[in-house]
Chain A
Amino acid sequence: MRQPPGEESGLCRESGLTLLMDQSRPGRVGASLPELDVPPQELPPDDLLRRDLPLPEVSEPEVVRYFTRLSQMNFSVDTNFYPLGSCTMKYNPKWHDDVAAMPGMADIHPLQPEETVQGSLELMYRLQRYICEIAGLAESSLSTLAGAQGELAGVLMMRAYHLDRGDRQRKVILIPDSAHGTNPASAAMGGFSVVSIPSTAQGDMDLEALSSAASPEVAGLMITLPSTLGLFDRHIREICQIVHRCGGLVYGDGANMNALLGKVTLGALGFDIVHLNLHKTFSTPHGGGGPGAGPVCVAQHLAQFLPAPVVEEFRSTDERCYRFATPEQSIGLAGAFHGNFGVLLRAYCYIRSMGKAGLRQASEDAVLNANYLLSRLRDVYHLPYDRRCMHEVVFSARNQKAGGVRALDIAKRLLDFGIHPPTMYFPLTVEEALMIEPTETESKETLDYFIDVMRQVAKEAQEKPEVLKLAPHHTPVSRLDEAKAARQPDLRWRNRKG
């Protein structure tokens, strides 16, 4: 966030950090490798071999400095308040990384004989049980590699369930208008068409619209609870009943589970399938877009369709042993192996260290923090749904828009105060939406600072809107030309000198 010194003197190199291929000098190398300790073998015919390998040639210190300096251009949970709605950017305990790097866990091969990986299998089995307990469902599979893949697995299980019953006409999945984009995209990948269900002025699902859409063509409903409006749908049990009455299944997108840990289980509410985002609720780091993990939990009547593999316990002589199994009518293999084990390991550590009491406390604090923001900001930002929120609160910048300032401008101005902006323009059903999820790992002091900044920005929006329109002012780059990026795609290094 510093201006490079020497910009005026002309000594400053091109803005930004020089790309690897432009740093490259023939003869440099950034890693050492052992000498060949066996007699060299005959190479295959020349026409099979590569002549040119256009990779950079950079020394080790250059690689380290380059990527370290790149890292310094990021906001992150470790460095900034990051209230990005629906993303649950909570603190990620450091020791989990050490556990994931532990010899005997980090370095084992996915295809080793099962008798040589009993420790890992047992850990996976325990995690399966824990997440089933949290979801209130019977069985689970840890194999799905991210939230959207968990959704796809859920959709495919709906498909398999209906086909198995000879119910071939169910081609429609119902999705609330406030849903994440992944829900309709996953439904389409599963071969379904999508019917959107509106919400009421109070932010609950429109039961009449749902009832009239609930037909024998409906395979199921995909719903996020709390909704992306940050609200707990007060008719959720009726919703599940309506869907079940028409023969459909209820799928829960677990993106917002951080509100409900230990408070209520989705299974008890009537859900049939739930996916959990371990990289949100269960505190594994998001990595700038993964790795995540999106395990799925299902009610007993769907267990036979779970994605492969699942871990089973069995008894061999007197010992408890574990093995991989493919459920009888599995929708198939989700990825090449058994799931993102390194992520699963971190989630295991999280659940074990928090325990039942800690998980419940986490959700209570998450909901408390969000409601605190709601009550302290509602006089300056429009609250489209005037009721208690759960773990996140959705405001609208409608008041500010009247003066020419948009949600985007508010978001960009927050960057100048070292705060990552809330999710903007989502859900699509709220005008100029600002969706704020503080999480439970932020202190009251941080929330108070955020409140002060948000109030200050609202004031600026009235008094000096140009400050917001030109924001951010103190970041490594200012607003970027996204239209140009899409119109003239520059997606890889090219030799610009030649």
Chain B
Amino acid sequence: MEGPGPSWPYLPNTPSDRQEMLRAIGVSSVEDLFADIPDELLNPALQLPTPAAELDVRREVEALARQNASPGGYSYFLGGGAYRHFIPSLVGRITSRGELATCYTPYQPEVSQGTLQATYEFQSLVCGLTAMDVANAGMYDGATALAEAVLMACRVTGRDRAIALDTLSPRYKRVIETYVRPQGITVDMVPFTVPEVPDDAACLVAQYPNFLGNIEDLAFLERKAHEKKALLVVSVDPIALGLFKSPGEYAADVVTGECQPLGIGLSFGGPYVGLFACRERYVRQMPGRIVGRTTDSQGRTGYVLTLQTREQHIRRERATSNICTSEALVATSAAIYLAALGRQGLRRVAELCYHKAHYAASLIREVPGYKLPFQAPFFKEFIVQVPAPVKEINRRLLDRKIIGGLDISDLVPNGMLLCVTEMNTKEEIHALRDALAWAAREAR
């Protein structure tokens, strides 16, 4: 059945290696090693494809990729929690290094200083960006980070009710419910216009900018939450913090967010990484890994995983979370992005988004049939009420090679959430305006 050499590129053992090893073990066949498996269930007939070469599989995936519409052929005005931003080449070049990509969680700090120090940088950069005291090594994504923040707020307040503004992403709300419901915690949505916080609320949850693109009044929300000794929990788009005041400056207690905009490809929704930052006094209630700086036996600076008594491998069922493997390499990508863009670059990206989005809004407002229902300040996303069902408008935009905005007509009648970033050129914005005008005429 087998030739003289290894049949599989990832399996170095040759038939003669195998024979030699079996002899050393003292068995005649590899099946002897599986003797504990019931005979009648051994080696089942599985319906799996036959092996294929690298070249064949590449062709197969390329063929599938051709069935997708992608930025090569389309301009994008779609956001809603995942965003097209410019990614400098150095991010991918560094994180594709095997030394960073093919190591495990840094349980052996002496040979993991690269991952550990990069994570310490990520924590530092997140603290700087959010103006918070401490941050962890990252959560699965922005939604689960927020869900864990609600759980933490309930732990530290001893309360089991969370209040969230109705301008929170519906997807984030669903993820929070997945996480908190089994623990008997309820989440009540309140209108952002009248954010009443009851006495027994553990936290007030807001998104910044909110799901509709607007900048929430965090100063007001802070008073509302803290009046009732509830925590203010804010989920951010980190790019917005290049331009707008950070939640930390408004005395937020926990800040979470989706780091995908920070140098992470869209990749159809993942892998991304969530940020999680809070006030120092809650550090021992945080979920997830935390890296700390210390010294070695010779007094040299080094980094380790720390405060591990919070975690599942030590505390088991009393851990602050079950999270183990998270998104370390993606967090490193975000750290590299933030390092490269830095103080000036992040501000600049945020300004480009702001100006282009506002320019696009000013053009679309003038197109007959289109309305911008909100007056509040916004960042890179805004709602447009379109003159026909959003689905229909979007279908026509596709004909013009445009991926239109998110259909949120379940929240705002005929509402489309448009997103404009530094990736959208002036020509694309004009083409969008023209296509919207055309789509409105066609739809009539």
Contacts of A462 in B (CB 8 A): none
Q: Are A354 and B184 in contact (CB under 8 A)?
A: no
Q: Is B66 an interface residue (CB 8 A)?
A: yes
Contacts of A64 in B (CB 8 A): 90, 93-94
Residues 1-56 of A contacting B (Cβ, < 8 Å):
14-17, 19-21, 24, 28-31, 33-34, 36-45, 47-50, 53-56
Most B Cβ at <10 Å: residue of A149, A287, A307: A287
Most A Cβ at <10 Å: residue of B49, B66, B271, B302: B271
CB distance from B217 to the nearest CB of A (A): 9
Q: Is A384 an interface residue (CB 8 A)?
A: no
A336 to B237: give the CA distance in the assembly, Å. Answer: 14
Choose among B117, B270, B339 the residue that contacts A16 (Cβ–Cβ < 8 A): B117
By beta carbon, the residue of chain A nearest B326 is A290
By beta carbon, the residue of chain B nearest A474 is B110
By beta carbon, the residue of chain B nearest A349 is B57
Q: Is B193 an interface residue (CB 8 A)?
A: no
Q: Is A122 an interface residue (CB 8 A)?
A: yes
By beta carbon, the residue of chain A nearest B106 is A288
Contacts of A66 in B (CB 8 A): 339
- Please list 13 pairs of residues, one from A and one from B, whose beta carbons are closer than 8 Å in the complex, sorted by A's number: A56-B342, A73-B114, A97-B96, A100-B267, A149-B140, A188-B322, A265-B46, A287-B329, A338-B270, A341-B270, A371-B21, A478-B296, A489-B292
Contacts of B355 in A (CB 8 A): 36, 38-41
Stretch in A111-119, A207-215, A242-250, A453-461 with 4+ CB within 8 Å of B? A111-119
Contacts of A307 in B (CB 8 A): 178
Q: Are B33 and A335 in contact (CB under 8 A)?
A: no
Take A53-B346, A339-B270 as given contacts and tell me if A484 and B175 are in contact as well, using a CB distance cutoff of 8 Å: no
Q: Are B30 and A364 in contact (CB under 8 A)?
A: yes
Contacts of A409 in B (CB 8 A): none
A79 to B425: give the CA distance in the assembly, Å. Answer: 43
A292 to B328: give the CA distance in the assembly, Å. Answer: 10
Q: Are B102 and A78 in contact (CB under 8 A)?
A: yes
Q: Is A402 an interface residue (CB 8 A)?
A: no
Residues 108-131 of B contacting A (Cβ, < 8 Å):
108-115, 117-121, 123-125, 127-129
Q: Is B194 an interface residue (CB 8 A)?
A: no
Choose among A184, A292, A371, A486 the residue that contacts B317 (Cβ–Cβ < 8 A): A184
Take A30-B345, A290-B328, A492-B124 as given contacts and tell me if A70 and B302 are in contact as well, using a CB distance cutoff of 8 Å: no
Q: Is A441 an interface residue (CB 8 A)?
A: yes
A187 to B317: give the CA distance in the assembly, Å. Answer: 7
Q: Are B106 and A57 in contact (CB under 8 A)?
A: no
A390 to B101: give the CA distance in the assembly, Å. Answer: 27
A53 to B48: give the CA distance in the assembly, Å. Answer: 53
Q: Are B49 and A21 in contact (CB under 8 A)?
A: no
Contacts of A147 in B (CB 8 A): 324-325
Contacts of A376 in B (CB 8 A): 24
Q: Are A38 and B57 in contact (CB under 8 A)?
A: no
CB distance from B304 to the nearest CB of A (A): 5
* Beyond A67-B100, A187-B317, A340-B270, 7 additional pairs, beta carbon < 8 A: A103-B72, A146-B325, A148-B325, A367-B34, A443-B12, A489-B283, A490-B294
A441 to B10: give the CA distance in the assembly, Å. Answer: 6
Q: Is A481 an interface residue (CB 8 A)?
A: yes
Q: Are B182 and A342 in contact (CB under 8 A)?
A: no
Contacts of A429 in B (CB 8 A): none
Q: Are A264 and B37 in contact (CB under 8 A)?
A: yes
Contacts of A351 in B (CB 8 A): 48-49
Q: Are B123 and A491 in contact (CB under 8 A)?
A: yes
By beta carbon, the residue of chain B nearest A152 is B322
Contacts of A53 in B (CB 8 A): 128-129, 241-242, 343, 346-347
CB distance from B364 to the nearest CB of A (A): 13
Q: Is A140 an interface residue (CB 8 A)?
A: no
Q: Is A352 an interface residue (CB 8 A)?
A: yes
A105 to B7: give the CA distance in the assembly, Å. Answer: 30
Take A191-B182, A368-B33, A444-B13 as given contacts and tell me if A341 and B269 are in contact as well, using a CB distance cutoff of 8 Å: yes
Residues 155-209 of A contacting B (Cβ, < 8 Å):
156, 159, 180-182, 184-191, 193-194
Q: Is B222 an interface residue (CB 8 A)?
A: no
Q: Are B117 and A480 in contact (CB under 8 A)?
A: no
Q: Are A337 and B134 in contact (CB under 8 A)?
A: no
Q: Is A316 an interface residue (CB 8 A)?
A: no
Q: Are B292 and A74 in contact (CB under 8 A)?
A: no
CB distance from B220 to the nearest CB of A (A): 12
Contacts of B425 in A (CB 8 A): 37
Q: Is B441 an interface residue (CB 8 A)?
A: no
Take A146-B324, A480-B304 as given contacts and tell me if A356 and B359 are in contact as well, using a CB distance cutoff of 8 Å: no
Q: Are A76 and B42 in contact (CB under 8 A)?
A: no
Q: Is A317 an interface residue (CB 8 A)?
A: no
Choose among A19, A116, A151, A480 the residue that contacts B68 (Cβ–Cβ < 8 A): A116
Q: Are A72 and B114 in contact (CB under 8 A)?
A: yes
Q: Is A359 an interface residue (CB 8 A)?
A: yes
Most A Cβ at <10 Å: residue of B64, B181, B283, B297: B64
Stretch in B195-203, B223-231, B305-313 with 4+ CB within 8 Å of A? B305-313
Contacts of A40 in B (CB 8 A): 355
Contacts of B18 in A (CB 8 A): 365, 368
Q: Are B295 and A481 in contact (CB under 8 A)?
A: yes
Q: Are B12 and A441 in contact (CB under 8 A)?
A: yes
Q: Interface size of A by Cβ–Cβ distance < 8 Å?
A: 204
Q: Is A334 an interface residue (CB 8 A)?
A: yes
Residues 71-93 of A contacting B (Cβ, < 8 Å):
71-80, 82, 84, 87, 89-93
Binary contact track A416-428/B, C-beta < 8 Å → 1, others 0: 0000110100100
Take A149-B140, A289-B325 as given contacts and tell me if A50 and B245 are in contact as well, using a CB distance cutoff of 8 Å: yes
Q: Are A76 and B68 in contact (CB under 8 A)?
A: no
Take A74-B114, A287-B100 as given contacts and tell me if A484 and B295 are in contact as well, using a CB distance cutoff of 8 Å: yes
A274 to B72: give the CA distance in the assembly, Å. Answer: 38
Stretch in B79-87, B365-373, B381-389 with 4+ CB within 8 Å of A? B79-87
Q: Are A357 and B319 in contact (CB under 8 A)?
A: no
Contacts of B101 in A (CB 8 A): 76, 78, 92, 97, 285, 287-288
Residues 5-50 of B contacting A (Cβ, < 8 Å):
7-13, 17-18, 20-22, 24-26, 30, 32-38, 41-44, 46-50
Q: Is A401 an interface residue (CB 8 A)?
A: no
A120 to B123: give the CA distance in the assembly, Å. Answer: 33
Choose among B103, B245, B267, B298 the residue that contacts A341 (Cβ–Cβ < 8 A): B267
Q: Is A331 an interface residue (CB 8 A)?
A: yes
Q: Are A359 and B174 in contact (CB under 8 A)?
A: no
Residues 240-271 of B contacting A (Cβ, < 8 Å):
241-246, 249, 258, 265-271
Q: Are B426 and A37 in contact (CB under 8 A)?
A: yes
Q: Is A314 an interface residue (CB 8 A)?
A: no
By beta carbon, the residue of chain A nearest B245 is A50
Q: Are B403 and A116 in contact (CB under 8 A)?
A: yes
Residues 276-320 of A contacting B (Cβ, < 8 Å):
277, 279, 283, 285-293, 307
Q: Is A379 an interface residue (CB 8 A)?
A: no
CB distance from B7 to the nearest CB of A (A): 7
Choose among B10, B109, B283, B336 the residue that contacts A480 (Cβ–Cβ < 8 A): B109
Residues 216-235 of A contacting B (Cβ, < 8 Å):
231-234
Q: Are A333 and B178 in contact (CB under 8 A)?
A: yes
Choose among B48, B144, B300 the residue that contacts A133 (Cβ–Cβ < 8 A): B48
Contacts of B184 in A (CB 8 A): 191
Q: Is A123 an interface residue (CB 8 A)?
A: yes
Q: Are B110 and A76 in contact (CB under 8 A)?
A: no
Choose among A43, A116, A481 the residue that contacts B294 (Cβ–Cβ < 8 A): A481
Q: Are A352 and B317 in contact (CB under 8 A)?
A: no
Choose among B52, B175, B316 the residue that contacts A336 (Cβ–Cβ < 8 A): B175
Residues 480-498 of A contacting B (Cβ, < 8 Å):
480-482, 484-486, 489-493
Q: Are B270 and A264 in contact (CB under 8 A)?
A: no
Q: Are B24 and A375 in contact (CB under 8 A)?
A: yes
Q: Are B140 and A482 in contact (CB under 8 A)?
A: no
Q: Are A39 and B359 in contact (CB under 8 A)?
A: yes
Residues 400-435 of B contacting A (Cβ, < 8 Å):
403, 406, 422, 425-426, 429
Q: Are A44 and B377 in contact (CB under 8 A)?
A: yes
Contacts of B34 in A (CB 8 A): 232, 263-264, 367
